[in-house]
Structure 1
Amino acid sequence: MPRLDVDIDYLGDQLKALLAIPSPTGFTDAITHAVVDELQRLGVEPEVTRRGAIRARLKGRVKDPSRALIAHLDTLGAQVKYLKPNGRLELVPIGNWSARFAEGARCTVFTEHGAYRGSILPLKASGHTYADEVDTQPTGWPYVEVRVDALARDAADLNRLGFHVGDVVAIDTGTEFLDNGFIVSRHLDDKAGVAILLAALKAMVDSGKTPPVDTWWVFSIAEEVGLGAAAVLPHDVAAMVTVDNGTTAPGQASDEFGVTIAMADQTGPFDYHLTHELIRLARDNDIRHQRDVFRYYRSDSASALEAGADVRTALVTFGVDASHGYERIHMHALRSLAELLTAYATSPIDIKRDAKLVGSIEGFPHQTIEPAEPDIEPDETLPADG
């Protein structure tokens, strides 16, 4: 099916709004409320799990085999590990990210008594005191601390102010939307994915098109700690497309433009048929795309399979430079991804047998194993003998 028109201004506005809401894993209530409000505004009534994951169904012409599109609401962050004698806070990370990218960040510490602002600093932060030791000290979470913007000279002051071990720390985004289409911010992983899903849903609603099967828009809340889709995916979903970040770095094929379709990550290959269906849709709809393999990466797809879901999974990504650090993306990739999702959501079902959880071999697909036919004759490409 042809891709639908995507409202780019809406996509950008949603991303700005999402980035303004702190949502480290375990502290996602506010963003759950915001996304539910937006889904209801679009005319789709969502369901919310006990802990705040969201799923919303766009009814299809038939129910099965239903599809799902998923992105995650939670981001990286930190927690207070220890109230230090010097009146500062020791941290442990939420999710897997380097303290190198935490140094110098502004942050908010959420206590039972309210929020406090602060800065994450290396232990030796003053060049006038430590000189070259500022540059030679080790990097790591034991070597940074939060300087709270309140009168806190020691641990007793911190206790008096209401700080406790386990308080959640949200890292400021430092967001910039540039006129040339680049977007620089922390937490683009995966708030850009959430904005893409909302923009694709809006395109579906605005077009009035009914998907061929029930299609779920799913938002998980604990992807950064490996849980993700484990407890939110409807049991009747046969295919799930995850939207997340791709890593643009040396040795990777990901790009900040177009769609990067993942062929595998550290958990293994993605579903052959679903992945190649997305490649075909991108090709047929003239959507720029490239393929990549991620060695140190997992997503909502892995958590769904590990939880026991017998579901075909694929991963489509927007290229992120410096993922889990000072991230940068381009609006071209976000638009391309949203367009691909609309093409997928309106496309006919390739494997109708997937409507049944188990069945006979009849209708089970084939993977190509025959020798390839060359596009050109060998004598057109190889030099003549002698």
Structure 2
Amino acid sequence: MSFKSNNAKILDRSNSKGETTLTMYPTINETKLLIKELVSIPSPSGNTKEVIQFVKNLLDDLGVTTKTNRKGGLIATVPGKDNAHHRMLTAHVDTLGAMVKEIKPNGRLKLDLIGGFRYNATEGEYCTIETAQGTTYTGTILMHQTSVHVYKDAGSAERNQENMEVRIDAKVENDQDVRALGMEVGDFVSFDPRVELTDNGFIKSRHLDDKASVAMLIQLLRRIKEENITLPYTTHFLISNNEEIGYGGNSNISPETVEYLAVDMGAMGDGQRTDEYTVSICAKDGSGPYHYGLRKQLVHLCETNNIPYKVDIYPYYASDASAAIHAGHDVIHGLIGPGIDASHAYERTHEESLLQTEKLLFNYVQSALVE
């Protein structure tokens, strides 16, 4: 299935009271289908060439100028009325994953994790191993002590690197058999996204962090191009590819850039305000507070455009925007995104959260810079 534009335009409609309303463009179903395609392309940090090319092809079709940086990220630029002051928006296309740490004597694989998650979040998950030659094999991530008929501690044993392993879907009995298939230490392992779009608006999948945001930036660029919208400032869109390991968006920021907005997931859980039906605006995360003026500007845009939102703090979190600040860039930084449940595991959000995030993005890129 390939994502295609239907060249739909935003439509004026009247409700029963005679008030004019706007139908969101592109439709949220288009966004969800694009997310489905994106999460289905394996792209653990360090191995993102295929998905970057997929995004580039879409933007090329729109006539959006792009370039690839040396780290492999993609930068799209839309000229604006003011070329002396720039904006940058980012979303990251790299995901959690793993590498082969060791080929065990029993023919199973020991993993080394890519990104910040826990082994229990992948127990029982299907995966794909890609060899350096490009051959792929499927497998399942399991506890070594999985069988309750054999192991007394099947339930209590710690889910860690020593106890968890990949069962390869191939006839292998030892490490020599595995190496004969072309597998070796350092091969990338990606997790099956198990993406599902429900009839009542939910989307469940691994890697909604942050491919949901990548899809929304693509849709925003589509709308800008197809409706011939002139932005007030030259605006760069960075599709970063190393965010999960901390440095995806910390370079290639033009000296004219004043504002830097990361579009990433809103973290949900105990004590959090973020939900799956509004746009989340981050006030602070593990890196510290985001720019107060930009945060208030984002809230103002929500309130004046009837966009449901939640302001929140994400305690164990960092973003491309915070990476840029830590790298020393003199920019105003902010962070917004859809609410994502069960982050860094089997994630879920709702089309309402995607819709409100898209609305805020559309209004933000046409607003004035923070003074």
TM-score (structure 1 length as normaliser):
0.88
Q: In structure 2, what is the Cα distance between the partners aligned to 1:64 and 1:91?
A: 48
Q: In structure 2, what is the Cα distance between the partners aligned to 1:262 and 1:103?
A: 31
The answer to whether structure 1 residue 180 and structure 2 residue 200 are counterparts is yes
Q: Secondary structure in 2 aligned to 1:30?
A: helix
Q: Deviations over 1:188-234 (max 9, x none)?
A: 00000101111111222222210111011111000000011112333
Report if aligned partners of 1:258, 1:288 keep a CA contact under 8 Å in 2. Answer: yes
Return the offset for 1:64: 2.4
- 2:60 equivalent in structure 1: 40
Range with bigger deviation, 294-303 or 341-350: 341-350
Q: In structure 2, what is the Cα distance between the partners aligned to 1:86 and 1:286?
A: 59
Q: Residues 334 and 322 of structure 1: is their aligned pair in 2 closer, same or farther, counting only changes over 3 Å? A: same
The answer to whether structure 1 residue 83 and structure 2 residue 94 are counterparts is no
- 2:25 equivalent in structure 1: 6
The answer to whether structure 1 residue 212 and structure 2 residue 229 are counterparts is no
- 2:347 equivalent in structure 1: 327
- 2:265 equivalent in structure 1: 245
Q: Secondary structure in 2 aligned to 1:332?
A: helix
- 1:62 equivalent in structure 2: 82
Count residues in correspondence: 349
The answer to whether structure 1 residue 127 and structure 2 residue 153 are counterparts is no
- 1:21 equivalent in structure 2: 41
Report if aligned partners of 1:212, 1:349 keep a CA contact under 8 Å in 2. Answer: no
More helix per residue: 1 or 2?
A: 1
Return the offset for 1:289: 0.3
Q: Deviations over 1:134-191 (max 9, x none)?
A: 1111122221100111121111111111111111000000111001111110000000
Report if aligned partners of 2:65, 2:78 keep a CA contact under 8 Å in 1. Answer: no
- 1:366 equivalent in structure 2: none
- 1:258 equivalent in structure 2: 278
Q: In structure 2, what is the Cα distance between the partners aligned to 1:348 and 1:227?
A: 28
Amino acid corresponding to residue 34 of structure 1 in structure 2: F
1:116 to 117, 120, 137: 137
Q: Residues 198 and 211 of structure 1: is their aligned pair in 2 closer, same or farther, counting only changes over 3 Å? A: same
- 2:172 equivalent in structure 1: 152
The aligned runs of 1:205-354 (5 Å cut-off) are: 205-351=225-371
Amino acid corresponding to residue 195 of structure 1 in structure 2: A
Q: In structure 2, what is the Cα distance between the partners aligned to 1:168 and 1:77?
A: 8
Report if aligned partners of 2:216, 2:358 keep a CA contact under 8 Å in 1. Answer: yes
Range with bigger deviation, 194-203 or 81-90: 194-203
Report if aligned partners of 2:119, 2:159 keep a CA contact under 8 Å in 1. Answer: yes
Amino acid corresponding to residue 230 of structure 2 in structure 1: T
Return the offset for 1:258: 1.2
Q: Deviations over 1:244-285 (max 9, x none)?
A: 111111111111111110000011110111111111001110
Q: In structure 2, what is the Cα distance between the partners aligned to 1:54 and 1:138?
A: 39
Segments of structure 1 that go 5 or more residues without pairing to the other structure are 352-386
Return the offset for 1:3: 9.1
Q: Residues 87 and 156 of structure 1: is their aligned pair in 2 closer, same or farther, counting only changes over 3 Å? A: same
Return the offset for 1:235: 3.0
Percent identity over the alignment is: 38
Q: In structure 1, what is the Cα distance between the partners aligned to 2:267 and 2:370?
A: 30
Return the offset for 1:127: 2.1
Q: Residues 214 and 3 of structure 1: is their aligned pair in 2 closer, same or farther, counting only changes over 3 Å? A: farther
Segments of structure 2 that go 5 or more residues without pairing to the other structure are 1-20
Q: In structure 1, what is the Cα distance between the partners aligned to 2:254 and 2:92?
A: 16
RMSD: 1.4
Range with bigger deviation, 77-86 or 44-53: 44-53
Q: Secondary structure in 1 aligned to 2:83?
A: strand
Range with bigger deviation, 264-273 or 232-241: 232-241
Report if aligned partners of 2:92, 2:242 keep a CA contact under 8 Å in 1. Answer: yes
Report if aligned partners of 1:57, 1:214 keep a CA contact under 8 Å in 2. Answer: yes
Q: In structure 1, what is the Cα distance between the partners aligned to 2:112 and 2:193?
A: 19
TM-score (structure 2 length as normaliser):
0.91
Return the offset for 1:6: 2.6
Between structure 1 and structure 2, the one with the greater Rg is 1
Report if aligned partners of 2:250, 2:321 keep a CA contact under 8 Å in 1. Answer: no
Q: Secondary structure in 2 aligned to 1:214?
A: strand
Report if aligned partners of 2:45, 2:242 keep a CA contact under 8 Å in 1. Answer: yes
The answer to whether structure 1 residue 202 and structure 2 residue 222 are counterparts is yes
Amino acid corresponding to residue 54 of structure 1 in structure 2: L
Q: Secondary structure in 1 aligned to 2:231?
A: coil
